[in-house]
Amino acid sequence: MIKRIRNTILYATVLFVCWFLFLLLRSYFFLIALIFFGSLFLYDIISLKILKNNINILIYNPKNAITKGVLEHISVGLDNHTIFFSPNLYFTLELSNEFYGEKAEYTWNIPLYAKGHRRLELPVRFQRSGKMIISVKEIRVGGILGILEAKQKGDGQSMFYVYPRQLQRSMDAREYGGLKEEDKTGRQEGTRQGNHFSEVSGIREYTPGDSMRDIHWKLSAKKEKLMAKEHVILSDTNQTLLVELADVLYEQERCIEDVLELLMNFLQEYVTGGIPFEIVWWNQKQEFTEHLTVNRTEQIFSSLEHLMEAGMYKDNFLLEHTWLHDNPRGERYLWIGMDGDVPEGQIVAEGNGKIIVRTGK
């Protein structure tokens, strides 16, 4: 507004000077200048009235998956169906994160060219995961003189998801089966490089073809013959993963992103390892638990999208308590959330998110 007032005063001053010099010097040069500047104002009136209803801004859906923290580009299409142009086109985009319930507005200023289509690549970097909706909130076209302005509401919209980033270190999916190394009993297998996704079910005498990693060296030395561990493949049965989407504060910060990042890596590692598992979460909007079996790469993103649609809630352990009430069988499961203190212990922590093994008892 201040800029428009300043331009109005400047424009009126120019007109007055041209008129005064024309009367004083009787020079047609100043008369022509007066007519020229006067016609610019007339052009602004006509062009803005026509442009107001003939500008379209479209937002294209991203072609590739968008990852949190990575510089991406949003494609915006600009159509001008008239022969008029403007040095100043302002359009405001509203970015809404449905998962967090947050909104922000950003305004861009670009020149508007006469008659044609223009495609813009706007750089953005999303700091949080979630379901994103980008919409054109307002379009403003400024006149050449910077005095007049035409406004219209935008109707372009795009919806997409921003996925959690991968952690810097690779997480071995074997860590998340609730397995501990107990050399004395040989009942459970630790996480060692090269082991299969399996659990030790017993000890037997070594047979040709067994992996050297499966040899139980302590027992072999005691019995003076090679003994090997016998495995049961974990992928024979689905693993259950409870994802707690509680919006819990840790040192006054919302740290659910840590949980989503852990979950992202967990999904990738388990799918890569060929271990099918079932994800369970609480749908806050519908107020019931949902589940999805994941065993293919494309289902990783689909499961994350379901979680982002479900929304967050304030009551930590709400999902776990509900699931235990509905499934009182005492089976082992994995729990991903913001906090937890169980006898089985913490398996991994990254930031403030945790993956913890629970027995369900």
The ranges assigned to domains in the chain are 1-163, 174-235, 236-358
Strands 157-163 and 66-67: parallel
Q: Measured between alpha carbons, how far is 233 from 50 in angstroms, rounded to an integer?
A: 71
Q: Is 289:282 a contact under the CB 8 Å cutoff? A: yes
The strand ranges marked E within 206-332 are 227-233, 239-243, 249-250, 253-254, 277-283, 288-294
Q: Is 158:60 a contact under the CB 8 Å cutoff? A: yes
Ordered per-residue pLDDT tens for the chain, 361 residues: 788 899 899 999 999 999 999 999 888 899 999 999 999 999 999 999 999 888 999 999 888 889 998 998 989 999 998 999 999 999 999 999 999 889 999 999 999 999 889 999 989 899 899 999 999 999 999 999 989 999 888 888 999 999 998 765 444 444 444 333 333 233 233 333 333 444 455 677 878 777 777 787 878 888 888 888 765 444 445 678 888 888 776 655 567 888 888 888 888 888 887 777 889 999 888 888 898 888 888 888 899 999 999 888 888 778 888 888 887 766 677 888 876 544 444 445 444 455 564 544 3
pTM given for the model? 0.70
- CA geometry: angle at 224 spanning 219 and 226, to 5°? 65
Tokens of 53: 């209803």
Q: Which CATH architecture has domain 1-163?
A: Sandwich (2.60)
What are 77's strand-pairing partners? 58, 119
What are 21's strand-pairing partners? none
Q: Measured between alpha carbons, how far is 19 from 32 in angstroms, rounded to an integer?
A: 10
Tokens of 170: 């690779």
- Output DSSP code: residue 115: S
